[in-house]
Amino acid sequence: MGIGTISQANTKLITDFIKQKPGHRQYWHNVDTLNTAMQIANTYKQHKGTVFVVTADMQKAYELAGYLKFFLIYEDAVNLFPDLEILPYDKFSPHPDIIASRIKVLQKLRKNFSGIIISSAQNLFRYLPPKEYVGQFSLSYAVGDVLDLPKESEYLAEMGYSKMQQIRGPGEFAVRGSIFDIFPINSKNPLRLDLFDNEIDSIRVFDVETQRSIKKVENFGVFPNHEFSLDKASCTRFIYNWQTHFPRADKSIMLDAVKQQKAAPGLENYLPLFFEEVNTLFDYIAEDALCVHVGDTIKQAENFWQQVRERHQQYAADIQLPLLLPEQAFYVVDKVFQSFRKYSELHINNGNVKDKSNHIQFDGNELPELRANFSSKHPFSNLQKLFKQYPDYKILFVADSNGRCEILQQHLRRSDIQTVLVDSWTEFLKIDMTQQRCYLLCAEVYDSAILQELKTVLISEQQLFDKKIVQRAKSSSKTKEKGIKIYDVGELKVDTLVVHFEYGIGRYLGLNNIESDGISSEYLTVEYADKDMIYVPVQDLHLISRYSSANLDNVALHTLGTDKWLKPESVRLKRFGIWRQSY
């Protein structure tokens, strides 16, 4: 968890950095994640052009993207260019959601977009389609448009969409009489076009499971399902290039698929064969952009290139599935480094640099221990010490949902810490400390920091609770709408309704010590219908959330062993370390 402070001199440093010519480099050290995001946001505001952020890995890219949206008023200014999430030369294709996100960013960049672009270092090695492709192979539909259904079907097939009797997922379409269904990869739901003769009479978003309409829309766009086209000209070019590179691989499944104008898993590895020329992300980024490196991006780039070479050596023996050389399939590492030189560069927290000039070391005073102790009469005594240490600083608490904000506010109130809810970071900045000292905001911020320039201490709720218990688990569709996360056992009272990730709604009955293999451990006891019990290890608290409903009096406990929630089997019980007992 990033915790620290930053000097007040950063505003002048940003101004100086923006004025520098391409090829200039600055190095900032000991800057925590929140302050890094805030300084990138300030750089964007002053520069009023593109800020190209390169991170050491995608985890840091996602984290920064979230924090930048927190600090900036206009979320559209922040654009994450995701990694394909496949290894070099993998025989798999990326998920359609990833392709949609990437093409959405490329669409903006080809139109001279000015904003923040965030990418991992390894993303820079992947070849991209030329700018013309991104604009040419995207479709749009609007009420009143006249369609030629056979031609539309042909276009969608060339974009990588599959024709089905009934669509079930992204990248599919179906034609039934005057009804034309499409599930764009850039949409959460499919759309149904009702035609009157050849004209679009209405467009409805519908549920793919129930087939029921959700709402009407006037227009929508469709992104291609791949970063290459399967039109006749592109496939002909691919076949020619394949036969030139691999004359003996005439029976390859890749070649056979393209001959039928279809895609095969892993075809992304041969993207350059579809085009006369390919681009990289550098070709899409404006030349007057500022480049900010976060972490040791140079080292990560070198590591990725080494991985490319090793995996090529490992998988190149298959005659019928030959591989392009690393220099043909990827942008060479030396060219990546050379491409950086056309920008003015700021390296943040890159400890492995040979250049010893233009280095700035920032303050790194850590926040004190803030964890709450719910077994004490004064659980937030550590917070009170912080208030005394920074008497003229505003305090902003952050929790990641409305339910969590409500619970945190209740806990703080019991310790005589009064907070006022604010709607946004911008609103918080406008408030004078004389009005109120402590504030609470709902946002997905999981780090804490001292923002010295603003005389503010930003405290994530996770900083107040046991780090061993707090886990960022993926939400289940079953618990997403009904559950409020629990970060500490002390939040639960006996008879509280809870939702277990696997077993649904039950009633919390308290803690029990259970001995297993000679070791005694604490378990949460949860009661279900028919007096069935499960015992959940305290370390698995993240599997349980507090049940939320407007009417708690008429809630029925779920029955274990039925399909009403998820059918629990004895194997699953053992896997999660959960004990079950029936009376």
* Residues 122, 184 within the same domain: no
- Domain membership flag for residue 366: no
Q: With contact defined as beta carbons under 8 Å apart, do 64 and 33 qualify? A: yes
* Residues 87, 159 within the same domain: no
Phi, psi of 271 (to 5 degrees): -50, -40
* Residues 195, 275 within the same domain: no
Tokens at residue 193, please?
């076009």
Average pLDDT for 387-400: 93
* Residues 127, 143 within the same domain: no
Average pLDDT for 293-306: 96
* Residues 17, 94 within the same domain: yes
What's the pLDDT score for residue 551?
65
pLDDT tens per residue across span 11-55: 777 888 888 888 888 888 888 889 899 999 999 988 988 999 999
Using the 3D structure, point to which of 222, 245, 280 is the last residue of a domain: 222
* Residues 507, 566 within the same domain: yes
Residue 203, domain extent: 139-222
* Residues 122, 148 within the same domain: no
- CATH number of the domain that residue 521 is part of: 2.40.10.170
What's the pLDDT score for residue 86?
92
Using the 3D structure, point to which of 222, 248, 279 is the last residue of a domain: 222
- Domain membership flag for residue 254: no
What's the pLDDT score for residue 356?
60
Q: Hey, is 72 helix, strand or coil?
A: coil
Number of domains observed in the structure of the chain: 4
- CATH number of the domain that residue 432 is part of: 3.40.50.11140
* Residues 405, 443 within the same domain: yes
- CATH number of the domain that residue 210 is part of: 3.30.2060.10
Average pLDDT for 69-83: 89
* Residues 195, 92 within the same domain: no
Give percent above pLDDT 90 in the chain: 54
The tally of CA atoms less than 13 A away on the side-chain side of residue 511 is 14
* Residues 114, 18 within the same domain: yes
- Domain membership flag for residue 99: yes
- Domain membership flag for residue 249: no
Give percent above pLDDT 70 in the chain: 87
For the chain, how many residues are written?
Answer: 583
pLDDT tens per residue across span 183-213: 999 999 999 999 999 999 999 999 988 888 9
Residue with tokens 């001199």: 9
Q: Hey, is 231 helix, strand or coil?
A: coil
Q: Which long-range contacts (CB under 8 A, 24 or more apart) does 141-144 make?
A: 141/182, 141/191, 141/193, 141/200, 141/203, 141/219, 141/220, 141/221, 141/222, 142/200, 142/203, 142/218, 142/219, 143/200, 143/201, 143/202, 143/203, 143/218, 143/219, 144/199, 144/200
